Each structure stands twice: as C-alpha cells, then as structure tokens.
Structure 1
Amino acid sequence: MVSTSGDTRPQSIFSDRNFILFLVGQCITTQGLWVQKIAMSWLAWSLTGSAFWTGTIAALNFAPAFFLGPIFGVMADRVDLRRTAMVINLGQAAVSFLLMGLSYADMMSLPWMVVLAGSMGILGSAMTPVRLSLVPVIVKREFMSRAVAYAAMNFNISRLVGPAVGGVVIATWGTGAAFMINALSYLPMIFVISVVTIHMDRAPDAKSRRIWASLVDGARYAIHHPMIRSVLALSCFVSLVGTGMVELMPVFAEAVYERGVTGLGMLASAGGVGAVASTFFLSRVGSNAADYQRITIYGAFGASVGMLGLGFAPWYEMAVVLVALTGGGLTLVGVGSQTALQLTVDNRLRGRVMSFWSATSFGGMALGGTLLGAISEAGNIQYTARGSGVLILCTALIGLWRLYRIGKIGARR
C-alpha cells in the first residue's frame, strides 16, 4: 500500500484509526474476560473441590460454540455486524453484573454457576463469528494477517496480565469484585463498536438463502477445500486434548502443587507469557496462508512437549515453565489456524467458515475440559497430562507427514 503524498514506504497498520480503536477496546474487554475466567474457575473449585465440575464449568463457557456456532455463523453473514456486536456485549455485561450480585450476596451455588456459565457461553459463541468477521472489514486485505496477529497478541497479553490481576483481586476483595471488573470492561468496547468505520459489505445474496441452505453451503465449501479441512481438523483435536487440559489448571495449582489462587494466577500468566511470545512471532510472518498452516503443526509439537513435561514435573517452578511452553504452542495452533482461514476463505462465506473454526476450537476445548476432568477425577491429573501430550505429538507427526506428502506430489507435477 502506497501513500498518496508520494511517499513509497508501506504504511503501518497502526496508522489505521479503525484498527487502533478496535485494538484498545478489545484490550480492555479481554482483560476483564480473563479476570472473570480465573474467578469462575477458582469459584468452581472452591464450591465443589471436584476436577470434574471445575472442567465442566469451564466447558460451559465454550460448549455452546460447538452446537450453536455454525448457526451464529450464518447469522454473522446476514446481520448488521455493528448493531449485533453492541447487543451481545450488553448481554455479556448483564450476566457479569448478575454474577457480581450473587457473589456479594453470598448466594452463589453450583446450579447458578451452571446457568450463568452456560449463558456466557451462548453469548460468547454468538460473538465469536461476529468478532472474527469484524477484523477483516475494518482493515484492508494487505493488513489482514497483521491485524489478526496483533489482535491475538492483545488477547494473549490480557491472558498474561488478567489472571495475575484476577488472583490478586480475588485474594483481596473476593470473586464479586472480579465479576464487577469484567462487567465494566464491556462498556468501552460498546463505545468503540459504535464509532468504528465499516469498510466492507456482506454478500448481497446473504439474506436470499434459507438458514439451512446457507449452512450447507458453508459446510460443503469447508469440507471440499483441502487447506480449510486440514486446518479445522488439527485445531479441533489440539483444542480437545490440549486446551481442554489447560482448563484444569486450578487442579494443578491446588491439588498437585498446593499453591492456591495465587499459584493458579501464576500458572495462567505463564501460559500468557508463552502465548505473547508466539503471537509476536506470528506478527512477523507474511500473508501466505500455507506458512500459517505449517506454523500450526510446529505449534502442536511445542504443545506436546510442554504437556508431556507437565505430566512429569515434580516442582511448581518447573510446571510454570512448561505451562509457558504449552501456552506458546497452543497459541501457534489457535492463531495460526485462524489466520490461515482468514487469508483463504471466500468473503461471502467468512462468517460461516469462521464459525466452524470457533465450533471446532472452542467446542473441542469444552468437550476436552469435561472429559479430561472426569478422567482426572478417577485417576491422577498428571497421568492425564502425559496422555494428552502423546496424543498431540501423534497429531503433529500426522500433520507433518501430510505436508511432506503434499510437497512431494507438488514437486512431481
């Protein structure tokens, strides 16, 4: 992109007012999100002392994406993105305020947690395809890979800071204050969405198709596109056995290392350190979808090593380092797969295909958190971590073999 003033130097994405506004709004909102996430995990463990229920409550924040995500993806291709994003953010703020009220009134119970975690999960699954469709329409295509990477970096910096802040807030003022912080954090993003400029329209025929027909069109496109199919399969499986395992960090912090909520905050922040390092690396990669596909496989290797090590780590300090490695690898898979899809997908089908990504990624995380929590309840959570590491390693080896095979076929042609 060349400036009109005669300067031939490429413009920076940070010269784009739209992107800066969106990035700042997302930064504030995601800080609150991670503060609430750590509060929900700790509250679930405190109320039940159960790895199964801790994993289930975490899963409810993501499970609706698996079942409802594709429907919301069709919606994202049909609705006014600005208005829809504002309504969903208001709904998320309302649920957080209710969590705050129940906590301060000392009325929180497991049934309330199930209902409200599920409500946040439904709203989050509706917001994900809308948010993923917003990024490409507020920046030009040549900035898209960097926009996705910087947005992910922002998310993971919040993942670094938010849990540590959440741990201090919970230890000092209780979970009610953590829920209040998250509720207030949605308000700046609502303002940003109201003023940001939308550059691109949805497909003109988006409303002329029935919901089921639109959904089938998106699924057929994803299944028959080799890269999209491979990326979705890898991100789904790694989320299932990798990110699902990370959802059980409260069990590691308390049951394995006896470090309490501050130890949980440190483990979660360590994962954030690895994630930030990975997203910084991703921000330096070009705009080639095939490069991002390879990065997802390398990320799977890193996550498998970290998870295997965590299954054997005898000391808390070693676990912190291994969680950082795991977080970095999982971020390469998550952000790399998302960017590969954003650079590949037909814009007319963007909302639907990206909803399949959120369904496989977040749905896999939800199912994995529940299943791995149940397995850990029956046995030792470190044995579960070892099994997860082996499965991710096998998946990475299969992905590497497929890339090698495709390269050989391409060379012959």
Structure 2
Amino acid sequence: MRFFSPRWLARQASRFDALACRDFRRFTYGNGVSLIGTWLQRVGAGWLAWEVSRSSVWLGVVAFADLFPTLLLAPLAGVMADRCDRRKVVLYCQCVAMAAAVLQSGLLLAGSRSLAWLLVTTSIAGIANALCQPARMAWISSLVPQRRLASAVAINSLCFNLARFAGPAVAGVVLLEFGTVALFGLNALSYSVFIVVLMRMPAAPMPAGTAPSARWLGDALEGFRYVGSVAYLRGVFVVTAASAVCIRGIPELAPAISEQLLQQGPRGFASLVAAAGAGALAGGAWFGGRDGARCVATLIGRHVLAASLCALALALTHDFRLALALFFAMGFSVVVTGIGAQTLIHLSVPEHLRGRVLGAYGVIFRAGPALSALWLGTAAPLGGLRVALGLGGLLCLAVCFVASDRVRRVLRKLAWWR
C-alpha cells in the first residue's frame, strides 16, 4: 500500500523534523497556546459586539479595530523584526496583549458591556499583534538550520491553522457554559504561558546591524520596494490581496450570518466559525503533505477562485448544513493561498529583508480582512447581507480573472517554482 508504507511514513516524519530543535519546539508549543487564546478573544469580541448592538456594522468595526493597526504599523514592525532582538519584540508585545485581555475581563466582571471600551481593548491587542507578527514569523528561520526551514514553516502554518480550528471550537463551548468573560480570561492565561516560554529562550541573533534611527523610515518602506521590484512576489501579493480584501472578512460576520440568514443562535455562530477553522486546519495539513514548491501559481489562482465561488454560494443559500460546508471550503482555500505565499517568502527572500517583506505581507494577512469585514459590514444594512456577500465574491472573481493569467506567466518564469 502507498499509505503507511515505511517510505511514506519516513517522508511524513521528515516534514516535522524541525521539532527536533529544542528552541523551535518550545516556541511552537508556547505560540500554539497563545494563538488559541487569541482566537478565543476574537470570537468573544465578535459575539459581545453582536449581543450588545445587533448590528453587522459593529461587527465590522470591531474586526477592523483588531486587524487594521497592521496596515499602519506593518512597515515599522518589519524593521523591528530585522533590526531588534526578535525574542524581546515578541515578549513585550505578548505582555501588552495580555494586559488588554485582563482589562476587558475586569470590565465584564464589573458589569460593563461598553462597546467603546471593547474597541479600546481590541485596538490595543491589535497594535500588539501588528508589531509582533513579523518578528514572530521571521524568528523561525533563526530557530532551525536551513535544511529544516521548510519543515519549520509548514509546522508554524499548521500550528496557526490548528488554533483557528481549536480556538473557535473551544470558544463555542466556553461561551455557552461560562459566558463571554471567560473567553477574555482564558486568553490572558494563554499569553502568560507563552511569556514564560519566551523568558526561558535565548536572545534571538541579530539578522543585520542596527540601523540609525534616522534611516528607519526608509528601511520600513524597503520591504514594499523589494516586493514591487520582484515580479513573482508582486504577482503573489496581488492575488492574495484580492482574496483578503474581498472575502476574508466573511468569518467576522458569522454572528450576523448565523442569525439573519440562517436563523441560528450562538450555537450556529460557533459552528460556522469552527467549520472555517476546521477547513483551515485541513488546508494546512494538506499543503504540508505535498511538495510546497510545485505549482504554487496554479494553486493560488485555483483556491482564490474557489473561495470566491464559496462566497457567492453563501449569499444564495438558506441551508445551514450547506453554509457549514461553504465555511469549511473557504477556510481551506484561504489557508492554502496564505501558506503558499508564506513559503515563497521564507524560501526566496534574503534573510536581512525577510522581516520587512513579512511585514508587507502582514498588511495583506491582517489588514486585508479588517478592510473586508468593515466594508462588508457597512454594505449589509444598505443592500442586505446577501448582497454584500455576493458583491465580495464577484469583486474577487473579477480581480482573479484579470490578474490570474498574467500572474501565472510571471511565476512560471521561475523553473524551480513551477
């Protein structure tokens, strides 16, 4: 049999050989716990905003407050990842995010369900995550030898997608049994676990000499200039940006989709988010089980197209089970697209620029869904939620059809990346 043969098992084991590195193993465990907590809080913030306001606009605003700081801070965060001790950057950002979770938990325990305070704490956590993300992603290359870098990237992506599944699944149970406050409290606890792990790890090696402060603004834009100058990176960024801005914000509207379109309650909301997380986990596992350097252009084009079609189908369906399947498929396709882009960056971008290019990618990865959730949530009261979902899918399809042939031609010029 092809599966479970000694050769197949050896090949699967080699995909996880980065875990043999002690520091990377510690980082992965702590990071995984922290990411699960982040998803707990994200679900809690979305449900609290919906419970208080019953407005899709507020859902979009809260998601925007969490993710939009990346658009403003990603260039600075990329320079920090290239110029500073990455361990310290991650550590300090985790402390700030934990303080925000503790503050929101205290407010809820005191009986305050203020949307203004929710925006404040969500924005603080968003700023901390925006500054942390490039350093957290770029640090991976310092924790493993070069021959295990592909394995480390795959494991890190799988860890993130496992959190996307486990976080909402756990959040649904906690939300029903203990209420929203428990989600924020558990998130604060998850940050403390990662902080302890980080304090026990050695300082990260400096990837480049520290630049004078006067040069930081120019350095901050260098990642964007590099992406614009490299044709295959520019193509990947165009396609992933279309997906992020047009349809990635749909899971943030799950409370409104559950109640307004499908007539489900909090259980339906938790199920939809968990289905998207399960699809993301399956997509991460599937990508990790293939040769990541083959047919990336085709994969990205196909999966952005698939996610667009899922958004269109979601706008038309009234069946809850079909909606679950569509959320699963959307999660799968979005993650395959994202992992393909991240793998390309890690394997092809020079070490001294990797943090800044990952910072530029972070604009798409985090700020794109924020813009998506904001405009979808704002458009829903004007033309209806179904119209907003359908419009997002159509816009993404249009960009895909215009750009896909051009992008594939550019990427296929790289023989090693076909």
What's the TM-score, normalizing by structure 2? 0.91
2:319 equivalent among 310, 315, 318: 315
Q: Residue 246 of structure 1 corresponds to which residue in structure 2? A: 251
Equivalent position SS for 1:354: helix
Shift of 1:164: 2.0
**Pairs within 5 Å for 1:117-132:** 117-132=122-137
2:402 is aligned with 1:387: no
Equivalent position SS for 2:248: helix
2:359 equivalent among 352, 355, 361: 355
Gaps of 5+ in 2: 1-12
2:20 is aligned with 1:15: yes
Q: Which moved further from structure 2: 44-53 or 144-153?
A: 144-153
Provide the rounded CA distance (Å) in 2 between the counterparts of 1:35 and 1:408: 40
Q: Which moved further from structure 2: 306-315 or 400-409?
A: 400-409
Q: Which moved further from structure 2: 245-254 or 381-390?
A: 381-390
Q: Residue 4 of structure 1 corresponds to which residue in structure 2? A: none
**Pairs within 5 Å for 1:11-410:** 12-197=17-202, 200-204=205-209, 206-207=211-212, 210-286=215-291, 288=293, 291-406=295-410
Q: Residue 9 of structure 2 corresponds to which residue in structure 1? A: none
Q: Which moved further from structure 2: 303-312 or 61-70?
A: 303-312
1:139·1:199 contact (CA, 8 Å) conserved in 2?
no
2:80·2:89 contact (CA, 8 Å) conserved in 1?
no
Shift of 1:272: 1.1
Provide the rounded CA distance (Å) in 1 between the counterparts of 2:184 and 2:222: 40
Shift of 1:403: 4.3
What percentage of aligned pairs have identical amino acids?
Answer: 29
Shift of 1:16: 1.9
Shift of 1:47: 0.9
Shift of 1:404: 4.6
Equivalent position SS for 1:77: helix
Provide the rounded CA distance (Å) in 2 between the counterparts of 1:217 and 1:15: 34
Provide the rounded CA distance (Å) in 1 between the counterparts of 2:132 and 2:413: 40
Please give the root-mean-square deviation of Cα atoms over the aligned residues, in Å: 2.1
Equivalent position SS for 1:212: helix
Provide the rounded CA distance (Å) in 2 between the counterparts of 1:408 and 1:116: 45
Q: Which amino acid in structure 1 is aligned with residue 175 of structure 2?
A: I
Q: Which amino acid in structure 1 is aligned with residue 314 of structure 2?
A: L
Q: Which amino acid in structure 2 is aligned with residue 331 of structure 1?
A: V
Shift of 1:78: 1.4
Provide the rounded CA distance (Å) in 2 between the counterparts of 1:408 and 1:87: 41
Q: How many residues align?
A: 402
Per-residue displacement from partner, 1:346-377 (whole Å, max 9, x unpaired)?
11111111111101221111111111100012
Q: Residue 6 of structure 1 corresponds to which residue in structure 2? A: none
Q: 1:67 to 1:208 in 2, by over 3 A?
A: closer
Q: Which amino acid in structure 1 is aligned with residue 45 of structure 2?
A: M
Provide the rounded CA distance (Å) in 1 between the counterparts of 2:289 and 2:305: 20
Shift of 1:204: 2.4
Provide the rounded CA distance (Å) in 2 between the counterparts of 1:174 and 1:353: 39
Shift of 1:81: 1.1
Per-residue displacement from partner, 1:258-302 (whole Å, max 9, x unpaired)?
2221111100110011111111122123353x7444432222022
Provide the rounded CA distance (Å) in 2 between the counterparts of 1:139 and 1:410: 26
1:66·1:363 contact (CA, 8 Å) conserved in 2?
yes
Q: Residue 5 of structure 1 corresponds to which residue in structure 2? A: none
Equivalent position SS for 1:318: helix
Equivalent position SS for 1:295: helix
Q: Which amino acid in structure 1 is aligned with residue 387 of structure 2?
A: Y
Provide the rounded CA distance (Å) in 1 between the counterparts of 2:175 and 2:245: 29
Per-residue displacement from partner, 1:293-321 (whole Å, max 9, x unpaired)?
44322220221222121111111111000
Q: 1:407 to 1:264 in 2, by over 3 A?
A: closer
Q: 1:407 to 1:130 in 2, by over 3 A?
A: closer
Q: 1:395 to 1:54 in 2, by over 3 A?
A: same
Equivalent position SS for 1:396: helix
Shift of 1:388: 1.8
Provide the rounded CA distance (Å) in 2 between the counterparts of 1:384 and 1:408: 35
What's the TM-score, normalizing by structure 1? 0.92
